Amino acid sequence: MQTRLLALFAPLFIIAPIASGTVIHVDVNGGGDHLTIQDGLNAADDGDTVLVAPGVHAPFDFPLLNATLRSTGGNATTIVDGGGTERCIELDYTYITEATRIEGFTFRNGLTPMMWCYGASPIIVDCAFLDGNMNGAYCLYADPFFLRCVFSGNPGTGIICGTATFQSCEFVGNGTGAAASTGVFESCEFTGNAGRGVVVTGGEVSTFLQCTFSDNDGGAARVGGWSTDGIFDECFFSGNTAADGACVSVYGQASVNLTYCTATGNEATASGGVVRATNGSAIVWNCTLVGNRAPVGAIASVYVGPVTTSNSILAFSPEGELIDVEGTSTTMTTHCIVYGNAAGDSLAGQEVANLIEDPLFCDLGNGDFKVCTNSLCRSANNPWGKNVGAHPVGCDECAAPVESKTWGAIKALYLRD
């Protein structure tokens, strides 16, 4: 699965080479050609490189050119400080393309948003956006690419963007980690945000590949609005909490797809330990869902919207019936392994060809959700010939504590002559 994803999206993450024109040096201590980043950029032409020595630097506007701006000491020692009254950096020109590269700075204590990017599409590498007075960055009519960047300590949102690409970025301890309409996030971490890890709106598609969502107090993701789609592939959700939809809340005729995802230890205080669909739809496919809880719908809660769960493991939820269906909503659960849930292993809504069977994880206690060779999650061992769950075989045979039962067999126990 990992190989498939990287091959599919690899063209998005090609990094432009470092510019090779004139090199201009900036040093606040007087050891360079200029004292300020602004003066260094104003002296540059297309293709030049502006090298910035460590120190605390004043905010600046990126002029009408494509050039490389790079620190020599990295973002730990090269700081652009807004003093609480100014934006740290502004990029206001559509002329600025991926030929512009900004690398190795910390932008901190800036007026919201600390980075304003209007129409520009630079590559931003190894930068940190810390402790702004509201939002870390705002990108409008732009298409920037962020690599190994950190957005943290911003009480509003780490970054708000229409179209942007993020690879190996961290969104930590913000109000909301990120807000996007057309975003591609690969190998990113959304951790400890007070609101949602990410919010997706705007009638477009945002994709999350091999991302981690953990300990976000307002839930991991919220996807909403007409024709808005959220695609989550090989993502990991743990320890997220929310009133509704601890992993994903989908609403307003939006839709979400979760494929090959793992969700464990997430909690909704009202409904939807994993998914809450309110006038929205969700497809959960080949996921491993273990130990999630909610008073209503430990796995999914649905109000006016279909949720389909297939080829997935639904196990060990400590609270709440697994599927909650309100009103005329529809759900379908098919080809799933269901086991060990505190409120029982029954499924509301439509269900076809599911089994009550221990999934036989290699090491449940240590969070190893790969399965034993004799698990019914293997296509060779179940009657459907389908792999179930997000993880492959990872260990030899292990003991099967219970006898497998089909839903038909369980129901037959309660049928009267």
DSSP string, 46-69: TT-EEEE-SEEE--EEE-SS--EE
Let me know: does 290 contact 264? Beta carbons within 8 Å: yes
Domain 22-154 belongs in CATH node 2.60.290.11: no
| Residue 408 φ then ψ, to 5° | -60, -40
pTM value? 0.91
Sign of torsion, CA 156 61 73 85?
negative
Question: Which pLDDT value is given to residue 257?
Answer: 98
Per the listing, tokens 């510019």 go with: 19
Instruction: Read off the tokens for 230.
Output: 């959220």
Instruction: State the number of CA atoms in the 13 A half-sphere of 263 facing the CB.
Output: 35
Distance CA 353, CA 203 (A): 35
Q: Rounded to whole angstroms, how far apart are CA atoms 347 and 339?
A: 11
Beta carbons of 372 and 391 less than 8 angstroms apart: no
The pair of structure tokens assigned to 235 is 């993502």
What does the alpha-carbon distance between residue 288 and residue 338 come to, in Å, rounded to a whole number? 11
pLDDT in tens, 160-170: 999 999 999 99
Listed in order, strand segments (DSSP E) in 6-48 are 23-26
Q: What is the pLDDT, as a whole number, of residue 29?
A: 96
CA distances from 19 to 44, 127, 137, 142 (A): 12, 18, 25, 21
Which is it for the CA torsion 359, 360, 362, 365, positive or negative? Answer: positive
Q: What span, in angstroms and rounded, lies between the C-alpha atoms of 289 and 217?
A: 19
Domain spans in the chain, listed from the N-terminal domain onward: 22-154, 175-417
Evaluate whether 242 touches 213 at the Cβ level (below 8 Å): no
Give the fold, CATH level 3, of 175-417. Pectate Lyase C-like (2.160.20)
Burial 11-25 (b: 16+ CB within 10 A, else e): eebeeeeebeeeebe
Within the chain, which residues score under 70 in pLDDT? 1-20, 400-417
* Tens digit of each residue's pLDDT (9 = 90 or more) over 199-255: 999 888 999 999 999 999 999 999 999 889 999 999 999 999 999 999 999 999 999
**CA–CA dist 141, 181 (Å, integer):** 11
DSSP 3-state percent helix, strand, coil across the chain (nearest 5): 5, 45, 50
Contact 184, 9 (CB under 8 A): yes
Task: Identify the CA nearest to 296 among candidates 320, 318, 326, 314.
Answer: 320
